[in-house]
Amino acid sequence: MKAKLCLFILVSVSLAINSFAGTQCQHHQQMQSKTRAEGVNERGDHAMGFSHEKTTHHFLLTATGGVIEVTANDANDEMSLRQIRSHLSHIAKMFKEGDFNTPMLVHGEMPPGVDTMRASKAAIDYKFEKVELGGRVNISASSTTDIAAIHEFLRYQITDHQTGDSLEVRK
């Protein structure tokens, strides 16, 4: 009887410790994620030239590539509107030349997909266009390898910027 009681107590204590450790691990991951997001936002504000608090980013996956879109949160915020359009116009040109230094600066690491996108720069089209409250860069390719790289790059952006955009290709 004492052996069964001791075994029961030992199992109960072990389960409690594992549960506590799991909770601590989840808390640690949440804190790391929050710290990472804060770093991305801070570096992004500097590298992009506009505030993440005054703008909204979207990264969308399409059948031929995807879209990077940024809009001003306030229709009267002319400064953010100009900064968004300037930045995205510049990004389209830089990406076309195979220059992905800005995402590297924003994220503190080179996003996945960049090596393929850089190697295929002549085969991938980056087109800037104005939208009502900002701008977008339409990224398109015909090669399935290039499209997969674009999707990998954009999924990383969605996750790291925590935009909540779908990780699935739009129909």
pLDDT in tens, 43-101: 544 446 555 788 899 999 999 999 999 999 999 999 999 999 999 999 999 999 999 88
State residue 35 phi and psi, 5-degree precision: -65, -40
Tell me the sheet residues that pair with 57: 70
**How far is it, in rounded angstroms, from Cα 153 to Cα 112?**
5
pLDDT per residue as tens digits for the range 51-67: 578 889 999 999 999 99
pTM: 0.73
**How far is it, in rounded angstroms, from Cα 69 to Cα 56?**
8
